[in-house]
Amino acid sequence: MTGSIEDIRMQVMWNRLISVVEEQAMTLLRTAFSTSVREAGDLSAGVFDPEGRMLAQAVTGTPGHVNTMAEAVLHFIAEIPRQTMYPGDTYVTNDPWKGTGHLHDITMVSPSFLGDRLVGFFACTAHVVDVGGRGFGADGKSVYEEGIQIPIMKFAERGEVNQTLVSLLRANVREPNQVVGDFYSLAACNDVGHRRLIDMMQEIGLTSLDSLGEFIFSRTRAAMLERIAALPRGTWSSALLTDGYDSPVRLAATVEIGAERVNVDFTGTDGVSRWGINVPIIYTKAYACYALKCVVAPDIPNNWASLDLFTISSPANILNAARPAPVSLRHVIGHMVPDLVLGALAKALPGQILAEGAAALWNIHISVRPEAGQPGRRAEILMFNSGGMGARPGLDGLSATAFPSGVMTMPIEATEQTGPIVVWRKELRPGSGGEGAFRGGLGQTIEIEAAPGHEFDFSAMFDRVSHPAKGRDGGLDGAAGAVTLDDGTRLKPKGWQHVPAGRRLVLQLPGGGGFGDPTQRDAQARAEDQAKGYLAEAGE
């Protein structure tokens, strides 16, 4: 009985720890300056033990941030000696290879002290609107062109902010108030987590997190091993084509399921690109692990022990690009990794894996300015947009839903408030979901124009224009995406481009693939699709 009571006590503390990191994340959501954080939830937050092992993560957050952050904290510990860590410290980096894969993501880590004893770390990550350089796009030829690089360093020591760093930031970015504001929001996020953790430990009478960490890791590891043991043993491979920048890129993966471990190897993937669509291995690993966990153990908490049973290997290629490769749009190729891994798992677990979806977010960075000689204002605007998910075994795909990233759509009202643009249309795209026994999710149609007297350049960050999402088990492919002006002029899916005053940019986002034989679709489901306007009109 004593053991059972102790287990219950530990479980209550585990739940309490999760509530601590949830409050940590909510602080960032409520105080962030950038709409990508405040409106879309493009962030992560978590608590770690003194060795840098992730104990718990906030539910709010993307796999590309959470799972990279789980590894990034180890880099911070390796760079900053323990004897130079003090209460009130906050450390920062945007190093793509030691953080989350590109310069636009800021990762902050703060040590948490109970008295003079280091009991853990808090970490958080968020995407900021600008880091200078060429801006958020694929046009850079090296990371040096893509913005300011911040090595692992102190943002604050003993509570005193590094004003030299703040001055450097202000001198190197286009939106200094937003960017610096987000730095302070990130620091506050960790501070709230620290204060709530210390309150919890003092209330319960804990002097360290050692026993709680052992409970979390042992239970998680045992549960994961049980799930892996239930999988078929063997090796399965898959490949898919993405649009790339100016030529298609082939991605390849081999999934090997062993008795106590699952490995994904990316041998066969195309080499490093000369454009900014390369992916550091830390980001590739984050989304490969996410795909595995979605299938193997979606209900088991995500922490060091659950991630430790998944391993990644790859030669140097576009999914394992070394410094100084350009990596600004690492998310476009990186978001394809789950579909790639799931394609291999579909062979191991036939009939159980969803079809391919739009995958990569259709992010757009807009740089708007007044026409020559006209009054007005400049602004940098970032929108996150989502195509359709692939159909699932037994369920239609979700429309206009960000999978695998999980970020939310930014409201039009919030986007228009940040700069002089008008979003004329943002609606579901009929007929874009692949047919099947279960229909793929629909993409969107989005139409954007600069406000009167203004024009804009935009960075296209799109995929699935030439290579739509494939259906599964007889399901049809989703519709391909398209990028045009309102007069029909076709534009490139990647790279900085111009939209003249008076013209509208039209984005047709891709749909998800269907699942199963279309002739087996339920008649009532077809009738509902027709009634809701989900089907393409005749002749389209």
pLDDT tens readout for residues 415-447: 899 899 999 999 999 999 999 999 999 999 999
pLDDT tens readout for residues 355-392: 999 999 999 999 999 998 888 889 999 999 999 999 99
pLDDT tens readout for residues 237-282: 999 999 999 999 999 999 999 999 999 999 999 999 999 999 999 9
Taking residues 316-321, report their average pLDDT: 98
What is the tally of helices (H) and strands (E) in the chain? 12, 19
Taking residues 125-131, report their average pLDDT: 92
C-alpha dist (Å) from residue 10 to 111, 195, 212, 219, 305: 23, 20, 6, 11, 17
Q: Can you name the residues that pair with 105 across neighbouring β-strands?
A: 127
Token pair 């471990």: residue:
261
Predicted local distance difference test score (pLDDT) of residue 35? 81
Closest CA to 64 of 307, 283, 358: 283
Compute the distance between CA of residue 256 and CA of residue 220 in angstroms, rounded to an integer: 21
Is it the case that residue 41 has pLDDT exceeding 90?
no
Predicted local distance difference test score (pLDDT) of residue 185? 95
Predicted local distance difference test score (pLDDT) of residue 59? 82
Domain residue ranges in the chain: 2-220, 354-540
Compute the distance between CA of residue 499 and CA of residue 21 in angstroms, rounded to an integer: 42
Predicted local distance difference test score (pLDDT) of residue 540? 53
Q: Which residues contact 458 (CB under 8 A, 6 or more apart)?
A: 364, 365, 366, 367, 496, 497, 499, 505
The DSSP annotation for 246-278 comes to SS-EEEEEEEEE-SS-EEEE-TT-----SSTT-
Query: Is 282:100 a contact under the CB 8 Å cutoff?
Result: yes
Compute the distance between CA of residue 497 and CA of residue 509 in angstroms, rounded to an integer: 18
Mean pLDDT lowest among 150-164, 314-328, 507-521, 525-539: 525-539
Confidence of residue 539 (pLDDT cuts 50, 70, 90): very low
pLDDT tens readout for residues 84-120: 999 999 999 999 999 999 999 999 999 999 999 999 9
Compute the distance between CA of residue 17 and CA of residue 14 in angstroms, rounded to an integer: 5
Query: Is 450:416 a contact under the CB 8 Å cutoff?
Result: no
Is it the case that residue 408 has pLDDT exceeding 90?
no
Is it the case that residue 538 has pLDDT exceeding 60?
no
Predicted local distance difference test score (pLDDT) of residue 42? 81
Confidence of residue 3 (pLDDT cuts 50, 70, 90): low
pLDDT tens readout for residues 483-505: 999 999 999 999 999 999 999 99
Helix, strand and coil in the chain, % to nearest 5: 30, 25, 45
On average, the pLDDT of the chain sits at 94
Omega prior to 404 cis, within 30 of 0: yes
Closest CA to 337 of 309, 322, 318: 318
φ, ψ of residue 49 in degrees (nearest 5): -80, 175
3-state secondary structure of 82: helix
Query: Is 339:318 a contact under the CB 8 Å cutoff?
Result: no
Query: Is 68:101 a contact under the CB 8 Å cutoff?
Result: yes
Closest CA to 37 of 182, 192, 180, 183: 182
Give the predicted TM-score (pTM) of the model. Answer: 0.95
Compute the distance between CA of residue 46 and CA of residue 221 in angstroms, rounded to an integer: 19
C-alpha dist (Å) from residue 159 to 90, 106, 438: 8, 19, 55
Is it the case that residue 515 has pLDDT exceeding 80?
yes
Q: Can you name the residues that pair with 235 across neighbouring β-strands?
A: 256
Confidence of residue 61 (pLDDT cuts 50, 70, 90): confident
Predicted local distance difference test score (pLDDT) of residue 409? 83
